Amino acid sequence: MRLFFVAGKGGVGKTTVAGTLAYFLSRKGKTALISTDLAHSLGDFFSMQGEEFQVEGIRVLQPHAPSKLRERVKNWEKEFFSNISPTLREDFSPFFRFAEKDPANYDLIMLEEVKRLALEGGLEYLVVDSGPTGQFLKFLFLGKKLLEWYRLLRKWRRKYLKLKEMTRGKTRDAMEEFLGKRIQENEAFRRLMQGGFLVWVTEPTALSLRETLRALSQIRRVDFLVVNKVKGEFTLPEPLAKLRRIDLPMLDEEPVFGSRSWGKIAEKIGEILR
């Protein structure tokens, strides 16, 4: 399974590029397209509604972060509490209640939704229509930090279990199993992310290019650059000028999927896969 990320500053045309990229990938194999932007716009691009829909053979998802967070926390809670004592349940329940209501976890739940799709099997391509630059950078590094945190928690838990084993003998531990499963999932997803393909979308404006340069100084790897809304001659600063790229023209109307304006740029976006 191959991951494709489409990222960039807000309003530069990421959704148009992501949706079109998914369209061409769907001609090659089973493809899904997911938005991690809390203000989804895939439905607007495809002129469709709903959290999930099918269009041109593409499975399109726009997860509602609050409801997905509640759903995921309840599943974790059920798994975690399946084999622990009532005392521990009482101690840990407030943390789950807090977690499922905290908007700070919305980016985390978007990461979990992408990870779920990537690991459930059956897909050949998964395209991620990312949020604006700051949100994307958080998403990118959150997976690594989460994996480090799970590993640290398991390390502490195993130290406790070793001491417990000395007095009570070896027993099954639901918390250690829970952490082990999370680590395996995140390690597998981390490998997919590292092998992913990153398309960065920008505009030939000073503000957009400066933000792109700042982002690239943290990411350090972009596979393809899309310069959107081009009206005339422009010069890209280093190191952007060295990247593989396409230039998309400024259009008179919104390039929604299937429209005449979309047709003017669709084939050029398809060049990303060549």
Q: What is the pLDDT of residues 186-244, one digit of tens each?
A: 999 999 999 999 999 999 999 999 999 999 999 878 999 999 999 988 999 988 999 99
pLDDT computed for residue 174 by the predictor: 77
Q: Please list the alpha-helical segments (H only) found in the chain.
A: 14-26, 42-46, 65-80, 86-99, 106-119, 133-168, 174-194, 206-219, 260-270
Strand order in the sheet with 197-202: 52-55, 58-61, 31-35, 125-129, 2-8, 197-202, 224-230, 245-249
DSSP secondary structure code for residue 258 in this structure: T
- Domain with 240, as residue range(s), is 2-64+122-143+190-273
Contact criterion met (CB below 8 Å) for 213 and 225: no
Q: Does the pLDDT of residue 82 top 80, yes or no?
A: no
Instruction: Please indicate, yes or no, if residue 108 is contained in any of the structural domains.
Output: no
The string of pLDDT tens digits covering residues 253-266 is 999 999 999 999 99
What distance in Å separates the CA atoms of residue 59 and residue 56, rounded to the nearest whole number?
9
pLDDT of residue 84: 66
CATH code: domain of residue 233: 3.40.50.300
Quick check: 26 pLDDT over 80? yes
Residue 183 within any structural domain of the chain: no
For residue range 83-126, list pLDDT tens digits in order: 666 777 777 788 888 888 888 889 999 999 999 999 998 999 99
Q: How many CB atoms lie within 10 A of CB 129?
A: 28
273 pLDDT above the threshold of 80: yes
The pTM for the full model equals: 0.92
- pLDDT (0 to 100) of residue 100: 84
pLDDT band at residue 175 using 50, 70 and 90 as cut-offs: confident
**pLDDT higher at 169 or 25:** 25
Give me the pLDDT at residue 157, please.
86
Residue 175 located in a structural domain? no
Question: How many structural domains does the chain have?
Answer: 1
Q: How confident is the prediction for the chain on average, in pLDDT? A: 91
pLDDT (0 to 100) of residue 93: 80
Torsion (CA) 17, 258, 52, 43 in degrees, nearest 10: 70
Whether 78 is in a domain gets the answer: no
Confidence (pLDDT) at 127: 98
The pLDDT value given to residue 78 = 80
Q: What is the pLDDT of residues 40-68, one digit of tens each?
A: 999 999 999 999 999 999 999 999 999 99
Residue 262 belongs to some domain of the structure: yes
Domain membership flag for residue 260: yes
Domain membership flag for residue 222: yes
* Phi, psi (deg, nearest 5) at residue 222: -130, 130
Gap between the Cα atoms of 112 and 106, Å rounded: 10
Asked if residue 89 belongs to a domain, the reply is no
